[in-house]
Structure 1
Amino acid sequence: MATLAAHEPTIARPTHWKDENPTPADLAHIPGESGLPIVGNTFKMLADPPAFTRAMVEKYGRVYRNNAFGGNVVSLIGADANELVLFDRAKIFSSEQGWGPILDQLFPRGLMLMDFDHHRADRKALSIAFKPAPMRHYVGALNHGIDQRMDEWGAGDMRFYPAIKQLTLDLAADSFIGIPFGEESQKVNQAFVDMVQASVAPIRRPLPFTKLKKGVDGRAYLVDFFTKETERRRAEGGGQDMFSQFATATREDGELLPVDEVVDHMNFLMMAAHDTITSSATTLVYYLAKDQAWQDRLRDELRAIIGGEGRTLGYDELGQAELTEMAFKEALRMMPPVPTIPRRALESFEFGGYRIPAGTPVGVNPHFVHHDPEIWDSPETFDPMRFTREAEKARHKYAWVPFGGGAHMCLGLHFAYMQIKILMAHMLTRYRIDVAEGYAPEWQAWPIPQPKDGLRVTLKPLD
């Protein structure tokens, strides 16, 4: 049995997420509820995930049992739970087997669906795409693409979410894949939209006309596209875009990654890079539009860094945008792009006074912890000052986990910071972002947060 402090491997590890899970009787000692027959609490969760979690914590405490998406899950709530599961000192929590039931038909063999030595080897091979030389290349592409799009948007009313979603896809197609904006990128975008929406489809079989069927079809299109592109890049010797870096990446023994693995990694990373950044950029823009004082502070900082009109934010200047980074971190606290993180216990362990048996699907909840009044003062208030260095040091290290943690910490987090800072440098030095008084859009929480009305903002030209 494993605990927070000890690792005593006494139980054989399940080998795949489709292996038999503990029975309801095995988990009966953990408080919770099973919900309706067959569907459990799936629809109640999807209706309002944050409210559902709050209600469960209030009723059952910070360790509770729930039935959703066809099986029992034990939720572990709190910063200590985040550390136990994400840092995973004892290596008893499988990311592959946690995400497998949700993503295996859509994003198999992505980094998030790998564990331990295999994950470490592929992560190291893929990290070449985030070294300083490629990152400098991406900066140029991001500045060019964002500057051009700011002109196209112009002043006036707009729905920000679909606009930034198209922009991040076009930027990813340019920086990551090296294909120009156009019809091909539109097809790629639709495939990713279908795959992400399918990840939380209640019906988990790709039956005709279902969300999962659309997602599986989107994956088939992308597999064909990325397979042909991988073979072409290898034949041509690669390039500076991220896909070319992946296509020519090698493991420690000097062997190229198999083509099908390159394809699966590209599928997953493109989804992560474009959908999560779309969500987090939208959250930041909303809170800056609501808080004009902080919008002005970021504008003043970015103007001081880039100087005169027409200048861009360079790679070596990114670190100077400290207030912008703090505001982005606060937006990620308010609305983490991955609200919940699943794992599967490979051994039995103890937490919060309960024994959780081997094979149990478990989950931690960044959204709840990011709003926990035991950690954050006035947690529903947007306040980037929470992320001064002093404030960060005084807090539990796992109280803020929008990029995950431990071995599975998001590989592209520095790219996310870079893209957001460049976006703000162009947007805030050109426009004032405003929303109607009292405006508060309703948000769709899963699979990745987004405003249901697209986020209605007004861009006003600066004097």
Structure 2
Amino acid sequence: METDMRWMDWRQNNLINIGVLIFATLVVAKVLSVLLFPRSKNRLPPTVKTLPLVGGLVKFMKGPTDMLRTEYLKLGSVFTINLLHKKITFLIGPEVSAHFCSAPESDLSQQEVYQFNVAIFGPGVVFDVDYPTRLQQFRFFADALNVNKMKAYVDMMIMETEEHFSKWGDEGEIDLKKEMEQLITKIVSRCLLGKEVHEKLFDDVSALFHDLDDGMLPISVLFPYLPIPAHRCRDRARKKLHKIFGKIISSRKATDKKENDMLQSLIDAKYKDGRPTTESEISGMLIAALFGGQNTSSITTIWSGAYLLRHRQYLSVALDEQKRLMKKHRDMIDRDILSEMDVLYRCIKEALRLHPPLVMLLRSSHSDFSVTTLEGKEYDIPKGHIVATSPAVANRLPQIYKNPDSYDPDRFAAGREEDKAAGSFSYLSFGGGKHKCLGEAFAYLQIKVIWTHLLRNFDMELISQFPENDENDIVVGVKGKVMVRYKRRKLSVDYL
């Protein structure tokens, strides 16, 4: 009997030990599977079919927009492209873009993917510094673009615009693209770079900026220091610009007189520890501001005009708005009056929806995350992928925008507001979330100032073919000339 009891105890203990061992084995196996095989292949995004080794580089170099739209239609809102040794996973649409727009820098970082900008801006600024320092530098930009500064900038914008168009004759033909590029450069140089550049060095700085811009090629994203002529010319231009700005900064610091421009704001700026900005940092941030304020704004100004002149019904409504405001305010224009121009605002916003200059926004993934598509399908995005979205594709999704390829500024009118119906991140022309463009308000103001002057003072007609996108650069511009016939008039005389 005693022997039987000992046998039963031993058996019971043995079964418990076996059970514990099995349970422990299952736990270890699960942990190992998570560590070694963190994601099921069934949940990974579909991959674009590409050539071996080079991946999607050939398609990418031909023009990313058409490629992305094609793959979106084939694969859906989440897909991966192999690009040489990199994997780029695209998230297209608001339901899968929320994490992209809102994730902290520790999860999705700009630092690594925008390193190619260091070759443009120079060392020690923006994407060449750690995140806390970059945040402080972005604060410097924000301070230079605050409401009080904007009011002063509008006066400068009006002055430059009036002076530029005073040189037009009573009638003639012009290349709208060339005119807008020149005028935007004048406005940006006056508001951001300061009167020294504007009055004495404008031609020199403009030529150097052109060389910098020409050094920003699609291949520059992957190989920013490739020894090609465009990159060598870019590097020389950056060094010369730093030298020019350095002399101006030293001159300003030697006087007590303060100017009302971004340059002065950056000179006066201090980091949290009390350290002032250095000459090199100020020069680099000025170049970054010039890039952000000139290229994208001139492109949008051209598209805004091309669409208005092509769609005469919207041109008529925009003119009626100007008549109403001139009856209310006479010939006055200031920041507050510009804010009343809802029709013009919607026309600009719609042109920007159809032609966002930045067709891709990029991040580097530092952690795994998952997304769920509109259809309810879940995908796991592994750590180490480059994560991207495309305003060019997202801004034309038919489930968000009715007739998405058509020009319809009324889609943003009160009561309709298609960009808000699907929630946040449906309209990405200025990015969204944590990294939304700081210069959005500045951009709208200068474009409004320019087209307000043109609408009030000229009859215009588009006489060339409607333009197309030029995807040879990272910032997608307008291809070829945009020829316009004009005739001078004054609304204050003709309509009041």
- Please state which band the TM-score falls in when normalised by the shorter chain: 0.7 to 0.9
Q: Does 1:363 align with 2:388?
A: yes
In the alignment, which residue of structure 1 is the partner of 2:179? Answer: 163
Matches within 5 A, 1:16-165: 29-33=44-48, 35-36=50-51, 39-68=54-83, 71-88=86-103, 91-100=106-115, 102-107=116-121, 110-111=125-126, 116-154=131-169, 155-165=171-181
Distance 1:94 1:459, change over 3 A: same
Please state how far the C-alpha of 1:72 moved relative to its aligned partner: 2.7
Identity %: 23
In the alignment, which residue of structure 2 is the partner of 1:400? Answer: 427
Q: Does 1:384 align with 2:403?
A: no
Per the alignment, in what secondary structure is the counterpart of residue 415 of structure 2? Answer: helix
Q: Deviations over 1:271-328 (max 9, x none)?
A: 1101110011011011001111111211221232244999341122122111111111
In structure 2, the gaps of 5 or more residues are 1-39, 373-377
Letter in 2 for 1:296: S
2:394, 2:427 within 8 Å by CA — same for their partners in 1? yes
Letter in 1 for 2:88: V
Letter in 2 for 1:330: E
Letter in 2 for 1:166: Q
Q: Does 1:416 align with 2:440?
A: no
Please state how far the C-alpha of 1:458 moved relative to its aligned partner: 1.9
Per the alignment, in what secondary structure is the counterpart of residue 98 of structure 1? Answer: coil
Size of the aligned set, in residue pairs, is 438
In the alignment, which residue of structure 1 is the partner of 2:32? Answer: none
Letter in 2 for 1:424: W
Question: 2:242 aligned to 204, 223, 234, which one?
Answer: 223
1:93, 1:343 within 8 Å by CA — same for their partners in 2? yes
Please state how far the C-alpha of 1:372 moved relative to its aligned partner: 0.9
Distance in 2 (alpha carbons) for counterparts of 1:91 and 1:384: 38
Matches within 5 A, 1:182-221: 184-202=201-219, 204=223, 206=225, 209-221=228-240
RMSD over equivalenced CA pairs, Å: 2.8
1:334, 1:380 within 8 Å by CA — same for their partners in 2? yes
In the alignment, which residue of structure 2 is the partner of 1:457? Answer: 484
Distance in 1 (alpha carbons) for counterparts of 2:67 and 2:167: 41
Please state how far the C-alpha of 1:38 moved relative to its aligned partner: 5.7
Distance in 1 (alpha carbons) for counterparts of 2:193 and 2:330: 27
User: 130-139 or 199-208: which moved more?
Assistant: 199-208
In the alignment, which residue of structure 1 is the partner of 2:469? Answer: 443
Distance in 2 (alpha carbons) for counterparts of 1:163 and 1:196: 18
TM-score by length of 2: 0.81
Per the alignment, in what secondary structure is the counterpart of residue 367 of structure 1? Answer: helix
Whichever structure has more helix as a proportion of its residues is 2
Distance in 1 (alpha carbons) for counterparts of 2:207 and 2:415: 43
Please state how far the C-alpha of 1:342 moved relative to its aligned partner: 0.8
2:77, 2:96 within 8 Å by CA — same for their partners in 1? no
TM-score by length of 1: 0.86
Per the alignment, in what secondary structure is the counterpart of residue 106 of structure 1? Answer: helix
In the alignment, which residue of structure 1 is the partner of 2:364? Answer: 344
Question: 1:374 aligned to 396, 399, 405, which one?
Answer: 399
Distance in 1 (alpha carbons) for counterparts of 2:478 and 2:463: 15
Per the alignment, in what secondary structure is the counterpart of residue 119 of structure 2? Answer: coil
In structure 1, the gaps of 5 or more residues are 1-24
Per the alignment, in what secondary structure is the counterpart of residue 281 of structure 1? Answer: helix
1:201, 1:211 within 8 Å by CA — same for their partners in 2? no
Q: Deviations over 1:91-135 (max 9, x none)?
A: 5111122222x3232235554676753333222233221123322
Distance in 2 (alpha carbons) for counterparts of 1:448 and 1:202: 13
User: 374-383 or 186-195: which moved more?
Assistant: 186-195
Letter in 2 for 1:189: S
Letter in 2 for 1:74: T
Question: 1:232 aligned to 231, 251, 260, which one?
Answer: 251
Distance in 2 (alpha carbons) for counterparts of 1:216 and 1:74: 31
Q: Deviations over 1:140-182 (max 9, x none)?
A: 1111110111122343221111211111111111121223546
Per the alignment, in what secondary structure is the counterpart of residue 153 of structure 1? Answer: coil
2:145, 2:439 within 8 Å by CA — same for their partners in 1? yes
Per the alignment, in what secondary structure is the counterpart of residue 167 of structure 2? Answer: helix
User: 350-359 or 82-91: which moved more?
Assistant: 82-91
After TM superposition, which residue ranges in structure 1, 4 or more long, deviate above 6 angstroms?
25-28, 112-115
Letter in 2 for 1:304: R
2:48, 2:71 within 8 Å by CA — same for their partners in 1? no
In the alignment, which residue of structure 2 is the partner of 1:5? Answer: none
Distance 1:111 1:385, change over 3 A: farther
Name the larger-Rg structure: 2
Distance 1:369 1:349, change over 3 A: same
Q: Deviations over 1:174-226 (max 9, x none)?
A: 12122354672222223323323322242625455532222222222222222
